[in-house]
Amino acid sequence: MDPIQISRTGLDVEWRRLEVIAQNLANLGTTRTADGQAYRPQRLVSGPSQGFAAHLGENPTPGGVRVYGVEPVDAPPRRVYEPGHPHADAQGYVEYPGLDHAGEMALLVKTSRAYEANLTALAAARQMYARALEIGRR
């Protein structure tokens, strides 16, 4: 893979991560989903697109990253006493997603910085290719 393709895979993964974070933040106050279950926060699982063995040997080739999937976060729900809420249980408690708002915002910032870093690497690779073409014309 060339540097542009590697940066592109990073952009794709980080964009998908931003979508998952946005979905979690949008559902912070959701008590029930369309199927009647409580909303469970999600996490994107990503990693290298090739195994470790691909990086060993005579011709190691970098392969970028890829999304392995989206998995639910194993966090207990946040119980809030709201006896008048339509989803309250017999004791008057409503279960909201067990999501740390500050932690999710920190992850959002971290992910946006990773996205920006991939954009910068992509721009640098494009500049290097353009400069190489310029030198080749001389």
Residue-range domain boundaries for the chain: 3-30+40-74+99-137
Short-list 129, 122, 97, 126, CA closest to 14: 122
What's the whole-number mean pLDDT along residues 41-55? 83
Q: What is the pLDDT of residues 6-23, one digit of tens each?
A: 999 999 999 999 999 999
Given a cut of 70, whether residue 1 has pLDDT beyond it is no
Give the list of residues 6+ apart from residue 66 with CB closer than 8 angstroms, or none. Answer: 9, 13, 46, 47, 48, 49
What's the whole-number mean pLDDT along residues 65-85? 92
The pLDDT of residue 134 is 87
Given a cut of 70, whether residue 87 has pLDDT beyond it is yes
